[in-house]
Amino acid sequence: MKIRLAQSAMQKYDIKAEQNARLLAKSGVFAVDVMGSPGAGKTEILERTVEAMVQDMTVGVIEGDICTERDADRVRASGAQAVQINTEGACHLDAHMVGEVLENMTLGELDLLFIENVGNLICPTRFRSGAAERAIVLSLPEGTDKPEKYPSMFRSCAVALVNKIDLIDVLPVDLAELTLEIRRVNPHMRIWPVCARTAQGMEGWYEWLREGVRRSAAGR
Protein backbone atom coordinates (compact mmCIF):
# COMPACT_ATOMS: atom_id res chain seq x y z
CA MET A 1 0.00 0.00 0.00
CA LYS A 2 2.80 2.46 0.85
CA ILE A 3 4.46 1.76 -2.48
CA ARG A 4 1.23 2.46 -4.36
CA LEU A 5 0.76 5.75 -2.53
CA ALA A 6 4.33 6.80 -3.29
CA GLN A 7 3.92 5.92 -6.95
CA SER A 8 0.63 7.83 -7.10
CA ALA A 9 2.22 10.91 -5.55
CA MET A 10 5.17 10.84 -7.95
CA GLN A 11 2.81 10.38 -10.89
CA LYS A 12 1.10 13.64 -9.96
CA TYR A 13 4.47 15.43 -10.06
CA ASP A 14 5.29 13.86 -13.43
CA ILE A 15 1.93 14.89 -14.88
CA LYS A 16 2.47 18.47 -13.74
CA ALA A 17 5.98 18.46 -15.19
CA GLU A 18 4.52 17.42 -18.56
CA GLN A 19 1.98 20.24 -18.32
CA ASN A 20 4.79 22.70 -17.61
CA ALA A 21 6.78 21.33 -20.54
CA ARG A 22 3.85 21.81 -22.92
CA LEU A 23 3.29 25.37 -21.70
CA LEU A 24 6.95 26.25 -22.19
CA ALA A 25 7.03 24.63 -25.65
CA LYS A 26 3.86 26.43 -26.71
CA SER A 27 5.39 29.72 -25.57
CA GLY A 28 8.63 29.01 -27.46
CA VAL A 29 10.75 29.24 -24.29
CA PHE A 30 13.91 27.16 -23.94
CA ALA A 31 14.05 26.14 -20.27
CA VAL A 32 17.05 24.61 -18.50
CA ASP A 33 17.22 23.18 -14.99
CA VAL A 34 20.47 24.14 -13.25
CA MET A 35 21.54 21.67 -10.56
CA GLY A 36 24.53 21.26 -8.27
CA SER A 37 25.89 21.29 -4.74
CA PRO A 38 25.83 24.36 -2.49
CA GLY A 39 28.86 26.49 -3.34
CA ALA A 40 29.48 24.89 -6.74
CA GLY A 41 28.86 28.26 -8.38
CA LYS A 42 25.41 27.81 -9.92
CA THR A 43 24.31 31.40 -9.35
CA GLU A 44 27.61 32.89 -10.52
CA ILE A 45 27.38 30.76 -13.68
CA LEU A 46 23.92 32.23 -14.24
CA GLU A 47 25.15 35.78 -13.61
CA ARG A 48 27.83 35.44 -16.31
CA THR A 49 25.41 33.66 -18.63
CA VAL A 50 22.68 36.27 -18.27
CA GLU A 51 25.18 39.05 -18.94
CA ALA A 52 26.18 37.31 -22.19
CA MET A 53 22.67 36.35 -23.31
CA VAL A 54 20.69 39.53 -22.60
CA GLN A 55 22.47 41.29 -25.44
CA ASP A 56 20.22 39.51 -27.95
CA MET A 57 17.44 37.76 -25.99
CA THR A 58 15.20 38.02 -22.94
CA VAL A 59 16.19 35.79 -20.03
CA GLY A 60 14.19 34.69 -17.01
CA VAL A 61 15.33 32.85 -13.90
CA ILE A 62 13.39 30.93 -11.28
CA GLU A 63 15.52 30.64 -8.16
CA GLY A 64 14.99 27.89 -5.60
CA ASP A 65 16.33 28.28 -2.07
CA ILE A 66 15.19 27.37 1.40
CA CYS A 67 15.33 31.00 2.54
CA THR A 68 16.18 34.53 1.33
CA GLU A 69 15.95 36.25 -2.04
CA ARG A 70 19.69 36.79 -2.41
CA ASP A 71 20.21 34.68 -5.53
CA ALA A 72 17.23 36.24 -7.31
CA ASP A 73 18.65 39.68 -6.51
CA ARG A 74 22.00 38.67 -7.99
CA VAL A 75 20.60 37.50 -11.33
CA ARG A 76 18.28 40.51 -11.54
CA ALA A 77 21.35 42.71 -11.27
CA SER A 78 22.79 40.84 -14.26
CA GLY A 79 19.75 41.69 -16.38
CA ALA A 80 17.35 38.76 -15.93
CA GLN A 81 13.73 38.72 -14.90
CA ALA A 82 13.81 36.64 -11.72
CA VAL A 83 11.34 35.03 -9.34
CA GLN A 84 12.42 33.51 -6.04
CA ILE A 85 10.83 30.35 -4.63
CA ASN A 86 11.57 29.79 -0.94
CA THR A 87 10.90 26.15 -0.12
CA GLU A 88 11.06 26.79 3.66
CA GLY A 89 12.80 23.50 4.34
CA ALA A 90 12.10 21.37 1.27
CA CYS A 91 15.32 20.15 -0.34
CA HIS A 92 14.18 20.57 -3.95
CA LEU A 93 11.80 22.34 -6.30
CA ASP A 94 8.96 20.35 -7.79
CA ALA A 95 6.75 20.82 -10.85
CA HIS A 96 3.87 22.27 -8.85
CA MET A 97 6.09 25.00 -7.35
CA VAL A 98 7.51 25.82 -10.77
CA GLY A 99 4.10 25.64 -12.46
CA GLU A 100 2.64 28.20 -10.08
CA VAL A 101 5.39 30.62 -11.07
CA LEU A 102 5.05 29.88 -14.79
CA GLU A 103 1.34 30.66 -14.68
CA ASN A 104 2.16 34.13 -13.41
CA MET A 105 5.03 34.88 -15.81
CA THR A 106 4.62 36.53 -19.20
CA LEU A 107 6.23 33.61 -21.02
CA GLY A 108 5.61 35.12 -24.44
CA GLU A 109 8.21 37.77 -23.61
CA LEU A 110 10.93 35.23 -22.70
CA ASP A 111 13.39 33.38 -24.93
CA LEU A 112 15.42 31.55 -22.29
CA LEU A 113 14.47 30.41 -18.79
CA PHE A 114 16.74 28.96 -16.11
CA ILE A 115 15.36 27.07 -13.12
CA GLU A 116 18.07 26.97 -10.44
CA ASN A 117 17.26 24.23 -7.97
CA VAL A 118 18.11 24.03 -4.28
CA GLY A 119 21.77 23.08 -3.82
CA ASN A 120 21.66 19.29 -3.62
CA LEU A 121 22.81 16.29 -5.65
CA ILE A 122 20.12 13.91 -4.38
CA CYS A 123 16.60 15.27 -3.89
CA PRO A 124 16.17 17.31 -7.10
CA THR A 125 17.05 14.35 -9.32
CA ARG A 126 13.64 12.66 -9.29
CA PHE A 127 11.52 15.82 -9.42
CA ARG A 128 11.25 17.12 -12.97
CA SER A 129 10.25 20.75 -13.46
CA GLY A 130 9.18 20.61 -17.11
CA ALA A 131 12.40 22.14 -18.42
CA ALA A 132 13.62 20.86 -21.78
CA GLU A 133 17.15 20.16 -20.52
CA ARG A 134 19.17 19.81 -17.34
CA ALA A 135 22.66 21.10 -16.58
CA ILE A 136 24.85 20.32 -13.60
CA VAL A 137 27.45 22.68 -12.15
CA LEU A 138 30.32 20.79 -10.50
CA SER A 139 33.29 22.60 -8.97
CA LEU A 140 36.87 21.34 -8.83
CA PRO A 141 37.03 21.59 -5.01
CA GLU A 142 34.35 18.87 -4.85
CA GLY A 143 36.87 16.33 -6.16
CA THR A 144 36.54 13.62 -8.79
CA ASP A 145 34.25 11.13 -7.04
CA LYS A 146 30.87 12.87 -7.28
CA PRO A 147 29.70 11.36 -10.62
CA GLU A 148 29.94 7.79 -9.36
CA LYS A 149 28.63 8.69 -5.88
CA TYR A 150 25.58 10.47 -7.34
CA PRO A 151 25.05 8.73 -10.69
CA SER A 152 21.33 9.48 -11.00
CA MET A 153 22.00 13.21 -11.02
CA PHE A 154 24.71 12.97 -13.68
CA ARG A 155 22.65 10.61 -15.83
CA SER A 156 19.71 13.01 -15.76
CA CYS A 157 21.72 15.98 -17.08
CA ALA A 158 22.68 16.79 -20.65
CA VAL A 159 25.61 19.07 -19.84
CA ALA A 160 28.15 19.61 -17.09
CA LEU A 161 29.99 22.81 -16.31
CA VAL A 162 33.13 22.04 -14.31
CA ASN A 163 33.59 25.31 -12.46
CA LYS A 164 36.51 26.99 -10.67
CA ILE A 165 39.21 25.77 -13.05
CA ASP A 166 41.21 28.82 -12.00
CA LEU A 167 42.08 26.73 -8.91
CA ILE A 168 43.50 23.83 -10.88
CA ASP A 169 47.10 24.61 -9.93
CA VAL A 170 46.38 24.70 -6.18
CA LEU A 171 44.06 21.69 -5.84
CA PRO A 172 44.98 17.99 -5.93
CA VAL A 173 42.32 17.36 -8.57
CA ASP A 174 42.99 15.90 -12.01
CA LEU A 175 40.59 17.44 -14.54
CA ALA A 176 41.17 14.60 -17.00
CA GLU A 177 40.26 12.06 -14.31
CA LEU A 178 37.13 14.00 -13.40
CA THR A 179 36.10 14.10 -17.06
CA LEU A 180 36.62 10.34 -17.30
CA GLU A 181 34.51 9.77 -14.18
CA ILE A 182 31.68 11.81 -15.72
CA ARG A 183 31.95 9.89 -19.00
CA ARG A 184 31.74 6.55 -17.18
CA VAL A 185 28.37 7.56 -15.73
CA ASN A 186 27.05 9.48 -18.75
CA PRO A 187 28.98 8.90 -22.00
CA HIS A 188 26.84 11.46 -23.83
CA MET A 189 27.40 14.34 -21.41
CA ARG A 190 28.62 17.63 -22.88
CA ILE A 191 31.38 18.91 -20.57
CA TRP A 192 32.80 22.42 -20.36
CA PRO A 193 35.59 23.31 -17.89
CA VAL A 194 34.84 26.92 -16.91
CA CYS A 195 35.60 29.70 -14.49
CA ALA A 196 32.41 31.59 -13.67
CA ARG A 197 34.37 34.38 -12.02
CA THR A 198 36.07 35.33 -15.29
CA ALA A 199 33.72 33.60 -17.81
CA GLN A 200 36.67 31.55 -19.06
CA GLY A 201 35.61 28.57 -21.19
CA MET A 202 31.92 29.46 -21.25
CA GLU A 203 31.44 30.18 -24.97
CA GLY A 204 30.57 26.55 -25.72
CA TRP A 205 27.84 26.68 -23.09
CA TYR A 206 26.55 29.94 -24.50
CA GLU A 207 26.33 28.49 -28.01
CA TRP A 208 24.55 25.37 -26.72
CA LEU A 209 21.97 27.67 -25.12
CA ARG A 210 21.60 29.78 -28.26
CA GLU A 211 20.94 26.63 -30.30
CA GLY A 212 18.28 25.57 -27.79
CA VAL A 213 16.65 28.98 -28.03
CA ARG A 214 16.63 28.75 -31.83
CA ARG A 215 14.98 25.31 -31.73
CA SER A 216 12.34 26.45 -29.25
CA ALA A 217 11.56 29.60 -31.21
CA ALA A 218 11.15 27.54 -34.40
CA GLY A 219 8.56 25.35 -32.67
CA ARG A 220 6.55 28.29 -31.34
pTM of the predicted structure, to 2 decimals: 0.94
Give pLDDT tens digits for 2-47. Answer: 445 455 677 899 999 999 999 999 999 999 999 999 999 999 999 9
Please tell me whether residue 61 adopts helix, strand or coil conformation: strand
- pLDDT value of position 1: 42
Share of the chain above pLDDT 70, in %: 96
Reply yes or no on domain 2-218 having CATH 3.40.50.150.
no
Q: Mapping DSSP to helix (H, G, I), strand (E, B) and coil, where does residue 2 land? A: helix
φ/ψ of 188, rounded to 5, equals -95, 0
Closest C-alpha to 115, from 126, 100, 129, 99: 129
Q: Phi-psi category of 95—alpha, beta or left, where left has phi over 0 and alpha has psi -120 to 50?
A: alpha
Residue 220 has pLDDT above 90, yes or no: no
- Average pLDDT of the chain, as a whole number: 95
Question: Domain limits of the chain?
Answer: 2-218
Residue 94's contacts (CB-CB under 8 Å, 6 or more residues apart) are 13, 16, 127, 129
Question: How far is CA 27 from each of CA 60, 193, 215, 218, rounded to the nearest angstrom?
Answer: 13, 32, 12, 11
- Alpha-helical runs (H) found in the chain: 2-27, 42-53, 70-78, 95-102, 146-149, 151-155, 175-185, 203-218
Q: Are strands 133-139 and 81-86 parallel, antiparallel or unpaired?
A: unpaired
List of residues 6+ apart from 171 with CB closer than 8 A: 140, 141
